[in-house]
Structure 1
Amino acid sequence: MIRAAIAGLGRWGRNLVEAASGHPRLKIVRAVEPDIKAAQQFCSQHDLELTADLDPVLADDTIGAVLLATPHSLHPAQVIACAGARKQIFCEKPLALTHADAARMFGACRDAGVMLAVGHNRRFWPSIRALHETLASGQLGTILHVEGHNSNENSQKITSGWRLSPEESPGGGFTGAGLHVLDAFVSMMGPVERVYARLRQRETGPPPLDTAVVALDFVNGVTGTLATVRATPFYWRVHLFGTDGSAEVLDETTMILRKSGAAPQRLTYPATDVLRAELDAFASAIENKGTFPVREAEVLATLSAFEAALQSMKSGLPVQCQNLQENAGQHGR
């Protein structure tokens, strides 16, 4: 049994605790949350020992892993501290807000001999897994273009806190919802070469109202477009266009397959507990000393494109992605 601690008991941290409940190989036993009063009842319900800071967890030799669901800006220092204490690490996305910070974090974990798993949970959707398999089968032919959209109304419920900070969430809804689509793109198409992005902020809020639109040129010649609306009912779409067909994912369990001369096929896959599957993969990678499905090169390539998009939003001009040679060389590792 892997004894673990969770840092950050906001909405998502609590979701992770509940997903781990009763897990046969991973047991969350401690929690780190500065707002002790707000977290006491939840910790009592889930039998978690509660502390206000990370140091006691790092000093606890019975804790083998730490899950981080904290503000993005805290991730670099926390990951490096956990690596120094030889803890296996699961960190929610975005791992960092810059490619340089993320590379430093992976380096610290590699030097310490511990895992750094990044929580891009949409990778575990049954429909996204089916999309990867469809792409790998070659039945779509040569991929020419990819389109994606991710919007949700979560921001309508957020009227204070770090998620409203431009420093923590640059690029509006692109940092939260849009990054899921960018990760899906990179996992299938590889590194991005050039980005042209626009952010339109209608109201600062709370709740904030903004839209982001991103055009991407991938190293392999594929083009892409991505959009996110910060305050609208949930909508998800990732659509691959190839010379012999197209495949479009619309939610966790639905994919539309289109071929010339044939009616579109609507394929539905059995639903799964996505966060539980993500934690299963984390536990398996620890036990088997293997790799987590979200690979280092993909995380770094995604953050290179993310940084370029933020720069483009400020300048109004296309921006070349950095670290292309490194990302292109490592992709697929």
Structure 2
Amino acid sequence: MINCAIAGLGRWGRALVEAAQGEPRLRITRAVEPDTGGAAGFCAAHDLSLAASLDDVLADPTIDAVLLATPHSLHKRQVIAAARAGKQVFCEKPLALRHGDAAEMFAACRNAGVTLAVGHNRRFWPSMQALRAIAASGELGTILHVEGHNSNENSQAITQGWRLSPEESPGGGLTGAGLHVLDGFVSLLGPARQVYARLSERAAGPPPLDTATLAIEFVNGVSATLATIRATPFYWRVHMFGTKGSAEVLDEGTMVLRTSGGAPATTRYPAVNTLTAELAAFADAVERKQPFPVPEADVLATLAAFEAALQSMQSGHPVACHMAYQ
């Protein structure tokens, strides 16, 4: 049994607690949440004791791992503190807003001999797993281009808090929603070489009305475009184009395959609880059964492209990604 504490009991932190109930190797027993009054009922319902602080949890010898669903700017300090305390770490994406900070976190966990797993839960979508398999098989021929989109109207319900802060969530919808697509691109294509990005802001809100668009060149020569909108109903699309065909993922369980001379073939995959799946993968990594399936190199490559996108939005010019990926 891996005894865990969770920091952050907002919408996503609560979803992680409930998802962990489907993984018998993880038992969340303690929670850290500044809004103790708002969290009291949830903690009582899930048999969680509220801790005074994360430091209190890290000093508890009965806690083996911490799950972090906290504001992005807190991740670096929290991850490094957890590593120094010998705790295994699961941290929600984005791990950091800067590539260099993420590299420091991975180094701290590696030096401490603990796992650092980053919660890119859409890696566990059956449709995206199938797309990676098709891309790797060569069935699509030479990959030339990928298009991606993620819209998520959750921001319509957010009128205050850190998720609306340009410091915590820069780049419009890129941090909260678009980063899922960017990580999907990296999982398919590897690191990016250059990003040209634009943030178009219609109204500051709340809720904010903006669009983020990216044109990306990958090291392997593939081009890509990405768009994300915070204020429209949920929509997901990752469409990979090759010389022999294309494959388009439309949601968690739907993929459309197109080949020359043939009718489009739609495949639908059984639904899975992706949060439970990623927590099961975290347990596997803690038990040293297999590495967490979102490797450090991919996390850093995604953040290198993300950081370049933010710089491009400011400068209005294409920006090369971190030199480690040239």
TM range (shorter): over 0.9
Contact 2:211/2:230 (8 A) holds in 1: yes
Aligned AA for 2:296? E
SS at match of 1:23: coil
Q: Residues 52, 160 of structure 1: CA spacing in aligned structure 2 closer, same or farther, 3 A cutoff?
A: farther
Determine helix, strand or coil for the equivalent of 1:256.
Answer: strand
Q: What is the CA–CA distance in structure 1 between the aligned matches of 2:249 and 2:305, rounded to whole Å?
A: 22
Structure 1 segment 274-289 matched on structure 2, within 5 A = 274-288=274-288
C-alpha distance 111-289 of structure 1, shift in aligned 2 (>3 A): farther
Unmatched tracts of structure 1, length 5 or more: 329-333
- Per the TM alignment, residue 11 of structure 1 is displaced from its structure 2 partner at its CA by 0.3
Q: Counterpart of 1:107 in structure 2: which amino acid? A: A
Which residue of structure 2 lines up, in the alignment, with residue 154 of structure 1?
A: 154
Q: Which amino acid aligns with 2:63?
A: I
Q: 1:331 aligns to what?
A: none
Structure 2 partner of 1:269:
269
Paired residues in the alignment total: 326
Q: Which residue of 1 aligns with 2:97?
A: 97
| Paired letter, 2:98 | T
When the two structures are superposed, what TM-score results if normalisation uses the length of structure 2?
0.99
1:117-171 deviations in Å (ceiling 9; x for gaps):
0000000001001101111111000000000000110000000000000000000
| Contact kept in structure 2, 1:190 and 1:298, CA below 8 Å | yes
Q: Is the 8 A contact 1:88 1:115 kept in 2?
A: yes
Residue 5 (1) aligns with residue 5 (2):
yes
Distance 2:86 2:92 in 1: 19
Does the Cα contact within 8 Å between 2:147 and 2:224 map onto a contact in 1? yes
Supply the distance in 2 between the matched residues of 1:154 and 1:205 (Cα, whole angstroms).
14
Query: 1:72, CA displacement in angstroms?
Result: 0.2
Give the equivalent residue in structure 1 for 2:232: 232
1:145 is aligned to 2:145: yes
In structure 2, the residue corresponding to 1:281 is in which secondary structure? helix
Q: CA deviation at 1:53?
A: 1.3
Who is 1:313 aligned against? Answer: 313
How far the C-alpha of 1:51 sits from its partner, in A, is 1.6
Mapped contact 2:22–2:276 kept (Cα < 8 A): no
TM-score, scaled relative to structure 1:
0.97
After TM superposition, the structure 1 = structure 2 runs for residues 160-309 of structure 1, keeping only pairs within 5 Å, are: 160-288=160-288, 290-309=290-309
SS at match of 1:288: coil
Q: Offset at 1:289?
A: 5.2
C-alpha distance in structure 2 between counterparts of 1:118 and 1:14, whole Å? 17
Cα separation, 1, equivalents of 2:107 and 2:26: 25
Q: Where does the alignment leave 5 or more consecutive residues of structure 2 unmatched? A: none
Deviations 1:41-82 (A, max 9, x none): 000000001023101110111110100000000000000000
The aligned residue for residue 42 of structure 2 is 42
Would you identify which runs of 4 or more consecutive aligned residues in structure 1 move more than 6 Å?
Answer: none
> Could you tell me how far apart the structure 2 residues matched to 1:135 and 1:163 are?
34
CA contact (8 A) 1:173 1:212 kept: yes
Aligned equivalent of 2:68: 68
Could you tell me how far apart the structure 2 residues matched to 1:304 and 1:129 are? 23
CA RMSD of aligned residues (A): 0.9
Q: Could you tell me how far apart the structure 1 residues matched to 2:163 and 2:46 are?
A: 26
Q: Percent of aligned positions with the same letter in both sequences? A: 72
Q: Tell me if structure 1 keeps the 8 A contact 2:197–2:214.
A: yes
Secondary structure of 1:250's counterpart equals strand
Mapped contact 1:145–1:240 kept (Cα < 8 A): yes
Say if 1:171 and 1:310, in contact at 8 Å, map to a contact too. Answer: yes
State the distance in 2 between where 1:51 and 1:120 align.
27
